[in-house]
Amino acid sequence: MDSVRQLADKAISLKPVERLQLVDTILQSLDEPDAKIERLWIKEADARYEAYKRGELNTTDWDDINEKYEGIH
Ranges in the chain, pLDDT < 70: 73
Predicted pLDDT at 12 = 95
> What's the pLDDT at 73?
63
Note whether 52 and 59 are within 8 A (CB).
Answer: yes
pLDDT value of residue 3: 93
The confidence score (pLDDT) of residue 31 equals 82
| pLDDT score for 2 | 80
Are residues 11 and 22 in contact, defined by beta-carbon separation less than 8 angstroms? yes
pTM of the model as a whole: 0.47
